[in-house]
Chains A and B, each alone.
Chain A
Amino acid sequence: MFGYVKVRREELRVREYEYYRACYCGLCRSMGKCTGQCSRLAISYDFVFLCHVRLLLTGETPAVGRRRCPVHLIHRRAMMERCDTLDYAARAAAVLNYEKCRDDVADSRGFARLSARFRQWFLAPAYRRARRVLPELCDSVRQKLAALSECERAGRPGVDGPAALFGAILADIFAYGLPEEKARLARDIGQKTGRFIYIADAIDDMTEDLKSGNFNPVLGLFGGLPDEEQKKGLQDALLVGLSDLEAAFDLLGTGADPATAAVLKNILYLGMPATVRRVLYGEGCRKEDDREQ
């Protein structure tokens, strides 16, 4: 369900790209420190996005240093130093990843279930450590994920109902611990991003789900794979959703480091539309392309 919200690398300035990567590496390091080395494998770009939004909202400006990491032993990499924002994002990632696996175990059968169970077992230590710091967040995420699978099981037609429920989860994660005004803005961004991720994921999985017979809201809505006309409708709907997100982004301000806002703009105007094109038409931007960022 992750990796739908990321930058379009070739359009970033070098300085902005380095900032983005420093944030990625810093988050990875924070995950190692806060939730254990194993949890670092579950890092995804969506949480780097979360870091950027929260860095703007909290106004934190973590220093960037050069460090070695287990994957890059020889050359030191630019890496953001640990700060509250990165540590929070690391813990939130552990919570969401674990809860998602737990949900998958309940929802799937056969081999998929076995694999989900293994992942759950693998992520459990990280979750336990995160839970010690963020118990309320864990509870609300669990509760809302349960509501989401309830909604999916009920099988009512419509994509946006479950998408809004997933949006509510991300809204909680984005807004946790922020002061009132900023929490509202973060909640709005989280809600809209969550909807986008959910719908993009449903579209991305529809061919597989058609084969395996798993529940998929998009297949449910169109009664099969969407034709060209319906695909265009989906694209329009996702882009209109993004224009709502744009209005919320404009209220974020520029923050201390202009790179933060530039990265977010790149994600919104290029990265997310590219995701839409990829999931709908399989255009460019393969998932594997960006593994080494």
Chain B
Amino acid sequence: MTVSNNPYRTLGVSPTDDDETIKRAYRELARKYHPDRYRDSDLADLAGEKMSEINAAYEEIMRQRGDASAFTDRQPRRENRADGSRDNAWRDERETREEREDRRRHKNERRQEFDDTGAAYNAQNYSAEARSKFTLIRNCINSGNISEAERLLDEVDTADRGAEWVFLTGCVQLRKGFYVDAQRSFEEAYRMEPTNNEYWTFKERMHDRAKGFGGGYETRQGGCSTCDVCTSLICADCCCECMGGDLIPCC
């Protein structure tokens, strides 16, 4: 683990900032490099490195400040853990083996895109051989073995290439980052079997992910204009007058 010579620079804050600002900057960065964001990416290890750099810097700053004043929070991580949601971000570097094991299991659970039973689709439409193959393919996708899943999909008999086949093709495409094709496959699967909830969920999930993109650039200027100041004063005056007082005596 490398701590750059200036932990403040790592977090992008200045040494004169108060604890609250530093904590906010740290949270912001931790969210940015959170392992969940790089789940399917080849760059997961780079993000992990960045994450531990940030953790180390934050710890260093808190240690320094803890020495300087008795009032600062000595163990920020424990406190933050209370909110639970970003547990991973504040995890201890010296975590125990059990903890690490636990996290890995948790991660694997998150990776699972659909339930193992594979019974979500309308099973009567397919032959027994196809059904067992679909279960196998689902397991492959869950465990991240995409090339194997692709090979199995190719093997499925043309007669059995119904909605489920189209859907699983879409899942493979999704994993490969082939979003246009994936979206098309999900729509196709949903069209073939409109009663299937899973197909609908996947179709909509793409839409939600797309909607979530684009908040990273501040184009609007914050703050208030002269107009805002005047109207607020007038409002405050009205309120005061209601209660019998007066804020602006001339009106």
Contacts and interface: CB of A to CB of B under 8 A. Distances in A.
Bound together: yes
A243 B173 CA distance: 17
Interface string A257-274: 000000001101110010
B42 A188 contact: yes
B209 A243 contact: yes
Nearest to B173: A160
Q: Which 5 pairs show the lowest CB-CB distances between chains A and B? A: A160-B178, A269-B217, A237-B179, A236-B210, A239-B210
A238 B179 contact: yes
A284 interface: no
Nearest to B50: A251
B33 A236 contact: no
A219 to B, nearest CB: 13
A13 B126 CA distance: 60
Given A237-B183, A269-B216, A269-B217, A244 B177 contact: yes
Contact of B212 (A192, A243, A269): A243
Interface size class of B (residues with CB under 8 A): 20 to 34
A251 B210 CA distance: 21
Contacts of B209: 236, 239-240, 243
Nearest to B182: A237
A103 interface: no
B51 to A, nearest CB: 11
Contacts of A250: 32-33, 47
B87 to A, nearest CB: 20
A81 B50 CA distance: 32
Given A234-B180, A247-B47, A251-B33, 6 more contacts: A184-B43, A239-B209, A247-B43, A251-B50, A265-B217, A269-B217
Contacts of A185: 43, 46
B210 to A, nearest CB: 4
A160 B213 contact: no
B41 interface: yes
Interface of A is mostly: helix
Contacts of A247: 37-38, 41, 43, 47
B213 A246 contact: yes
B213 A242 contact: yes
A192 B42 CA distance: 12
Contacts of A241: 177, 179
A268 B216 contact: yes
B219 A248 contact: no
B25 to A, nearest CB: 13
B183 A233 contact: yes
28 contacts: A160-B177, A160-B182, A163-B178, A181-B46, A184-B42, A184-B43, A184-B46, A188-B41, A188-B42, A188-B43, A195-B177, A199-B180, A221-B184, A233-B184, A233-B187, A237-B210, A240-B209, A241-B179, A242-B213, A243-B209, A247-B38, A251-B33, A251-B47, A265-B217, A268-B216, A268-B217, A269-B214, A273-B213
Interface string B204-221: 001101111111110100
